[in-house]
Structure 1
């Protein structure tokens, strides 16, 4: 949170409408809780907000153990690149991926050894963060739009967004039928309209 605060102060921005997707939703919530004067509103897209019932799935527990050694660092990128298309398809399901998503986002950079290991560490620590922060959600005082994709298999609304919207004092739930995890790519106009509404801009 300190890095975000410093960056915002340097550009002289704020108070902000903070938009967060997936794990970024948790970061946006934490920023609103820790820096309330710096936030005007939140738009959270398929946010990760609550610990998964029953703990981590088995494959994630295995990954935490496997993806740390020097050998996996060496083989990870060349072994994974041929599977990028399949990974992207799973990320967008049940909707089709946007064209050239890997190229436009430089997705392969996330699979370089140091970045991948850091990502695994973040996910390893995620449950503890969620357990600690979830009881504080009723203290979020700014208007918050929770956008949930009803067909998201990665961050299910029933575990995360739906539960969050019920405890926010100024929360509003927006549901997108048939949408998957990457709703901000496939349904950008809906999300942009919510951001503009919070900003007080007239409808486009």
Structure 2
């Protein structure tokens, strides 16, 4: 009887805790959707809702964000500067921002190729013509996949702090823990329900290090969007599934014939330039490599002038300006 009573009591406590967590998550999601609504179009791409934000006039530029981010990463620094001379198309990747999961995907997680196909289809729906494709961090891997799959329709690529080649060792412990059953089913809901603003600030500072994060960045991109359980789970799974895809994709970069700009900071401790940018620049015939001394993982915010200059150079090499 005692064991039964303990078991019943424990079950009730867990159910009660789960109810509190779920209520907190729902409350935060309501506030997030109110404070950070979609600012672009939500397109139906073969049954998948895809959020596409378009601004500016000029040659088309597709912007692909990194892990755990969303379209607003580009509306903070780059789009306000470039919109007078480029038509900028920022697209949320699957399960990020306001884009849903790819319908009828081949596996549990959307592959780089599937993401590239989705982005290409969405860009066509907003009449993009021979775009320049910009990818940052994980988005760099997607941009490279885009170039390999749609090279004849792509004017050029820009890879900013991009993942391009296999790396030694294991991923950060965070991804391994959060990718476990305990992480997915227990830690993720708790994180989503109770992550504090200070935790968000610490995370952003770690991503930008050693550069300071721009004032107002966290508020702008919407911390609540990033910590939703649906986005956290998919983002973690995508990163954990990246290495085998990169091993295969990296064998084909010599097929890229379009001009490619590669920008990478020497102080980037998230994606190391020696492992990614340097070998990538040697594999691609028409690559221009810009090594940014002392810059971390987010040069589109912390070395914006260099990134903007590189985009204009890419457009010129592609014959668009």
Which TM-score tier does this pair reach, normalised by the shorter chain? over 0.9
Does the 8 Å contact 1:41/1:143 carry over to 2? yes
In 1, Cα distance between the equivalents of 2:223 and 2:253? 32
Q: 1:24 aligns with which of 130, 139, 142?
A: 139
Instruction: Provide closer, same or farther for how the CA distance between residues 58 and 115 of structure 1 changes in structure 2, counting only shifts above 3 A.
Output: closer
Q: 5 Å matches for 1:111-150?
A: 111-150=227-266
Bigger drift between 46-55 and 78-87 goes to 78-87
Q: CA 1:144–1:124 in 2, change beyond 3 Å: closer, same or farther?
A: same
| Root mean square deviation of aligned Cα | 1.5
Q: 29, 34, 38: which one pairs with 2:153?
A: 38
1:10 aligns with: 125
Q: Could you report, residue by residue, the CA deviation over 1:152-191 in whole angstroms, capped at 9, with x for unpaired residues?
A: 1111101111111111111111011111101110111111
Structure 1 residue aligned with 2:300, among 170, 180, 184? 184
Cα distance in 2 for partners of 1:107, 1:51 equals: 30
Following superposition, the deviation at residue 42 of structure 1 comes to: 0.8
**How far apart in 1 are the matches of 2:316 and 2:287?**
17
**Counterpart residue number, 2:277:** 161
TM normalised by structure 1 equals 0.92
Q: Distance in 1 between matches of 2:302 and 2:172?
A: 28
The answer on whether the counterparts of 2:178 and 2:188 sit within 8 Å (CA) in structure 1 is: no
Residue equivalent to 2:168: 53
Q: 1:164 to 1:38 in 2, by over 3 A?
A: same
Structure 1 residue 10, shift from structure 2 partner = 1.4
Task: State how far apart, in whole Å, the 1-side matches of 2:140 and 2:227 are.
Answer: 22
Note if contact 1:146-1:174 (Cα within 8 Å) is conserved in structure 2.
yes
Which residues of structure 2 form unaligned runs of 5+? 1-115
Conserved 8 A contact 1:152-1:181: yes
Work out the number of aligned pairs and report it.
Answer: 200
Q: Which of 158-167 and 51-60 deviates more?
A: 51-60
Deviation readout 1:64-89 (Å, 9 max, x if unpaired): 113211x3243112432231111111
Does residue 80 (structure 1) correspond to residue 203 (structure 2)? The answer is: no
Q: Summarize the Cα distance change of 1:145–1:52 in structure 2 as closer, same or farther, 3 Å threshold.
A: same
Question: Is residue 177 of structure 2 the alignment partner of residue 62 of structure 1?
Answer: yes
Q: Which runs of 5+ in 1 are unaligned?
A: none
Q: CA deviation at 1:5?
A: 1.9
| CA distance in structure 1 between the aligned counterparts of 2:162 and 2:220, rounded to whole angstroms | 23
* Larger relative helix fraction: 1
Conservation of the 8 A alpha-carbon contact between 1:17 and 1:39: yes
Greater relative contact order (Cα < 8 A, sep 6+):
1
